[in-house]
Structure 1
Amino acid sequence: MGFPKPILRTGRPRKMSERTTRAVVRYLLKNRRATAQELTNAVSHISPLHRDTVTKAILRLNFASRIAAKKPYLKPAHELARLNFAKKHEKWTVEDWKKVIWTDESSFEIGKNSRRIRVWRRSYERFHSDCLASTFKSGRTSVMVWGAFCGDLKKCKLILIPKDKRTAADYVKYVYENALSGYYNHAENPSELILMEDRAPTHKSNLPKAWRAAYGMDRLVWPAQSPDLNPVENVWRLMKAWISLQPIPSNEAEMWKLTEAAWERVSGDFLNRLVESMPARMKAVIAAKGGATRW
């Protein structure tokens, strides 16, 4: 006499129905910054559930609460300009990008501690537009600096831009004449180099234009809201990460010295790797149709 076969059991049914699960996902995709309690309240009319039950269901669907990546806000016009720029330079090689003088300004604030925003996203959605914490330019600053480097040259000296010296004439005096002119002429073939600058009003003023024309310096037309395409931004992040580990400076003079020390720590190998990443950055912008990238 054989033993009876065990009856297959389906197990205890989930507290959260498929209908409720779909409703939670729909609400979550429209409200990425919703708290777990808000998600629970949003479906309470379908099924009264505990917050923990909803949270577990979200995790099973591969969503997780993560810190939102900060990226500049992109309008459709910005995305189109970025896409056109990437397509125009898609065929550029690393050797082409090595002929670009990468420049940028950045502010270093004393004791800055930005608020972090959490969003619900899947592992591959970090740079989805709904999962970003948009950044906007701020007028606050402690010290403003200008830096530059080129693939075939050592990095330029870091320049401090005084608070009361921010006009176009000041920019020509403190940046162009004090640093860029010597850096540009130090190259073996300066005429082959091209200057990268963002679309800040100071760069577009008549005096800087006239100065660049006098030197015969070509300028790379840059799309707005595109710090992810400028490798100098990676240098700033590296410097700020190191500065954040140092004792907090008590005044601007100490902040300037600390910023100079951080600039000196940036290695040539790191800068070369940044330049070598440019072809991949162009492909990433095209893949994102002009949207934000991981860079």
Structure 2
Amino acid sequence: MGQKKDLTGSEKSKIVRYLAEGCSTLKIAKLLKRDHRTIKRFIQNSQQGRKKRVEKPRRKITAHELRKVKRAAATMPLATSLAIFQSCNITGVPKSTRCAILRDMAKVRKAERRPPLNKTHKLKRQDWAKKYLKTDFSKVLWTDEMRVSLDGPDGWARGWIGKGQRAPVRLRRQQGGGGVLVWAGIIKDELVGPFRVEDGVKLNSQSYCQFLEDTFFKQWYRKKSASFKKNMIFMQDNAPSHASKYSTAWLARKGIKEGNLMTWPPCSPDLNPIENL
């Protein structure tokens, strides 16, 4: 049997009238041809009525408390509005008011992601700066790899889309092949390369050294004078294929020994000038 509809307005009025006349719940159910539980539920809900919402008095913020909130927000920028106000011993302020106060003081921004720096990392950065303080950086060959994609930079798919407009579609390449990996370097005002890494080649220590042999050493380094090679400093980052013992020993056999190989501090920012090209 299908479920009957809710009580109509007319039925509710009749229930009220029958109750005033002294009719019982069962008698009203028979008169309206309804289940007695439906009648009983309606009577109970009517007797309870709606509870009035009690509005809490809004908490006013003093100028002194505002200064405390501003200092707390600067000290703990990633904390929630509740945590910031609690640290100032300010209670009774609704969330909407807390957020409005904080929006007047600061702008919501996403935290920057950076690698954690321990004491050893910081000391190695200082040692690196002291070691190369008097270095003639015009003799440093700055190198790095970069992937060039036909669809633009990897992961970049943002743009200005007006209200009411549909976001454009960015097609995927199921089998890859949408870009190339290149290696290049700069020294003073000279560009070295760029040299393309063959498709399907994964740059581990062995393949990285073989790549340098086939491109950098054969096409550029071999043509330089002995005095140039003696003064040149080869810079590369701390990628596993670059900083491995195999690659370091191989470069030493090619003439780029410890004095001509720039060490790079761990967890360092991208200060390599080739990043801007």
Name the TM-score class by shorter chain. 0.5 to 0.7
Q: For the Cα contact (< 8 Å) 2:142–2:274, is it kept in 1? A: yes
In structure 2, C-alpha distance between the alignment counterparts of 1:33 and 1:107, rounded to whole Å: 34
Q: For the Cα contact (< 8 Å) 1:98–1:151, is it kept in 2? A: yes
State the Cα deviation string for residues 179-236 of structure 1 (Å, max 9, x = none).
244322344522210100122222233543343223312211111122333222233x
Q: How does 1:237-276 map to 2 (within 5 A)?
A: none
> Aligned residue for 2:36?
none
> Aligned residue for 1:81?
124
Aligned residue pairs total: 191
> Aligned residue for 2:91?
46
1:18 to 58, 61, 64: 64
Sort the Cα spacing of 1:143 and 1:67 in 2 relative to 1 into closer, same or farther, 3 A. farther
Sort the Cα spacing of 1:142 and 1:79 in 2 relative to 1 into closer, same or farther, 3 A. farther
Percent identity, aligned pairs only, is 26
Q: Does 1:175 align with 2:212?
A: yes
Paired residue type of 1:102: W
In structure 2, C-alpha distance between the alignment counterparts of 1:28 and 1:69, rounded to whole Å: 16
Greater RCO structure (CA 8 Å; 6+ sep): 1
Sort the Cα spacing of 1:29 and 1:170 in 2 relative to 1 into closer, same or farther, 3 A. same
In structure 1, C-alpha distance between the alignment counterparts of 2:62 and 2:275, rounded to whole Å: 45
In structure 2, C-alpha distance between the alignment counterparts of 1:106 and 1:75, rounded to whole Å: 29
Sort the Cα spacing of 1:211 and 1:152 in 2 relative to 1 into closer, same or farther, 3 A. farther
1:205 to 237, 240, 244: 244
Please tell me whether Structure 1 or Structure 2 has the larger radius of gyration of its CA atoms: 2
In structure 2, C-alpha distance between the alignment counterparts of 1:48 and 1:209, rounded to whole Å: 61
TM-score, normalising length from structure 1? 0.52
Q: Does 1:105 align with 2:142?
A: no
2:187 to 136, 146, 150: 150
Q: How does 1:56-67 map to 2 (within 5 A)?
A: 56=101, 59-60=104-105, 63-67=106-110
1:184 to 221, 226, 229: 221
State the Cα deviation string for residues 7-51 of structure 1 (Å, max 9, x = none).
xxxxxxx84442354145325522x23466775687685341563
Q: For the Cα contact (< 8 Å) 2:234–2:262, is it kept in 1? A: yes
Deviation at 1:149, TM superposition (A): 1.3
Sort the Cα spacing of 1:175 and 1:52 in 2 relative to 1 into closer, same or farther, 3 A. farther
In structure 1, C-alpha distance between the alignment counterparts of 2:145 and 2:189, rounded to whole Å: 21
State the Cα deviation string for residues 129-173 of structure 1 (Å, max 9, x = none).
xxxxxxxxxxxx965432211114233223225444322221112
Q: Does 1:196 align with 2:238?
A: no
Q: For the Cα contact (< 8 Å) 2:204–2:241, is it kept in 1? A: yes
Sort the Cα spacing of 1:16 and 1:234 in 2 relative to 1 into closer, same or farther, 3 A. farther
Paired residue type of 1:87: K
Q: For the Cα contact (< 8 Å) 2:143–2:236, is it kept in 1? A: yes
Deviates more, 1:41-50 or 1:152-161: 41-50
Unaligned runs of 5+ in 1: 1-13, 116-140, 236-295
> Aligned residue for 2:26?
none
